[in-house]
Amino acid sequence: MFSNRSIEELRGLCPMPFLDVKQFPPSDGYTPGRFCSSLGDGLTCCLPCPATDWIFPENFHSWSRATEVLSALSVAVSLFLLISYAALPAEKSRRHYLSVCLVIGIGLLELGFVVPLAAQPEQCFNEITPNDMYSSMTCAWSGAFIISGSLTTGMWIFIRTLSMHLQICWDVVPGKKFFYGSQALGWGLVSLFFVLTLVFTGVSFRFGDACHVNSEHSTKDFWGPMLGMAGASALLQIATFGYCIHVYIKNMFSDEKTETSSSGGLASYSGSAHRNQTARGVYRRVTKVLWLQWRAILMVIFILADVIFLSVVFIYLNDITDHAFTTKRDQLMPWLTCLLISGGRKEECFADAQRFLISQPVVTAILMLLGLAGIQVFLLLSRFSLLRAWYDFFRKLFVQKSEFVSLDAKRYSNDARQYELLKVKSPVSTITSPTEVYQSPGMNGRQTPDYFQSSQRQYHTPSMSFSSPRPPSSGGPQSPQRLEWDPRSTHARGGLGLHPPIKDEEDAYDGMSNRL
pTM here is 0.73
Encode pLDDT of 270-310 as tens digits. Answer: 444 444 557 788 888 888 888 888 888 999 999 999 999 99
Q: Tell me if 2 is assigned to some domain.
A: no
Q: Residue 380 forms beta bridges with which residues? A: none
pLDDT in the model for residue 488:
54
Query: What one-character-per-residue DSSP string does 179-203 give?
Result: HHHHHIIIIIIHHHHHHHHHHHT-E
- In angstroms, the CA 241 to CA 104 distance is 27
C-beta of residue 354 within 8 angstroms of C-beta of residue 56: yes
pLDDT in the model for residue 460:
61
Q: How confident is the model at residue 248 (pLDDT cuts 50, 70, 90)?
A: confident
Give CA torsion, residues 95, 101, 105, 111, to 10 deg.
60
Q: Residue 36 forms beta bridges with which residues? A: 46
Q: Tell me if 136 is assigned to some domain.
A: yes
Please choose, from the candidates 337, 370, 299, the residue with its C-alpha nearest in 3D space to the C-alpha of residue 113.
Answer: 370
Parent domain of 248: 51-390
State the CATH number of the domain containing residue 250.
Answer: 1.20.1070.10
Encode pLDDT of 117-150 as tens digits. Answer: 988 899 999 889 999 999 999 999 999 999 999 9
- In angstroms, the CA 382 to CA 93 distance is 8
pLDDT in the model for residue 433:
46
CA distances from 111 to 75, 119, 141, 460 (A): 7, 12, 9, 80
Encode pLDDT of 349-397 as tens digits. Answer: 998 888 888 888 998 999 899 999 999 999 999 888 888 999 999 988 8
Res 199 pLDDT > 70? yes
Q: Tell me if 327 is assigned to some domain.
A: yes
Phi-psi category of residue 120: left, alpha or beta, with phi > 0 → left and psi -120 to 50 → alpha: left
Q: Can you tell me whether residue 44 is helix, strand or coil?
A: strand
Of 19-28, 31-40, 246-255, 455-464, the range with the lowest mean pLDDT is 455-464
Q: Tell me if 432 is assigned to some domain.
A: no
Helices (H) and strands (E) in the chain, counts: 17, 7
C-beta of residue 201 within 8 angstroms of C-beta of residue 221: yes
Encode pLDDT of 71-97 as tens digits. Answer: 999 999 999 999 999 999 988 888 999
Q: Tell me if 246 is assigned to some domain.
A: yes
More confidently predicted of 123 and 428:
123
Cβ atoms within 10 Å, residue 237: 18
Res 470 pLDDT > 90? no
pLDDT in the model for residue 472:
55
Q: Where are the alpha helices (H) located in 88-132, listed in sequence order? A: 90-93, 97-119
Cβ atoms within 10 Å, residue 419: 8
Total domains in the fold of the chain: 1
Q: Tell me if 128 is assigned to some domain.
A: yes
Res 424 pLDDT > 60? no
Of 106-115, 140-149, 242-251, 278-287, the range with the lowest mean pLDDT is 278-287
Return the top range by mean pLDDT from 35-44, 334-343, 496-505.
334-343
pLDDT in the model for residue 270:
46
Res 3 pLDDT > 70? no
pLDDT in the model for residue 432:
45
pLDDT in the model for residue 29:
87
Please choose, from the candidates 301, 278, 274, 289, the residue with its C-alpha nearest in 3D space to the C-alpha of residue 170.
Answer: 289
Q: Tell me if 433 is assigned to some domain.
A: no
pLDDT-above-70 percentage for the chain: 72
Of 118-127, 290-299, 320-329, 456-465, the range with the lowest mean pLDDT is 456-465
- In angstroms, the CA 345 to CA 353 distance is 13
**What is the mean pLDDT of the segment spanning 491-514?**
40
Please give, one letter per residue, the 3-state secondary structure of 376-437: HHHHHHCCHHHHHHHHHHHHHHHCCCCHHHHHHHHHHCCCHHHHCCCCCCCCCCCCCCCCCE
Please choose, from the candidates 102, 76, 79, 91, the residue with its C-alpha nearest in 3D space to the C-alpha of residue 385.
Answer: 91
Q: Tell me if 45 is assigned to some domain.
A: no
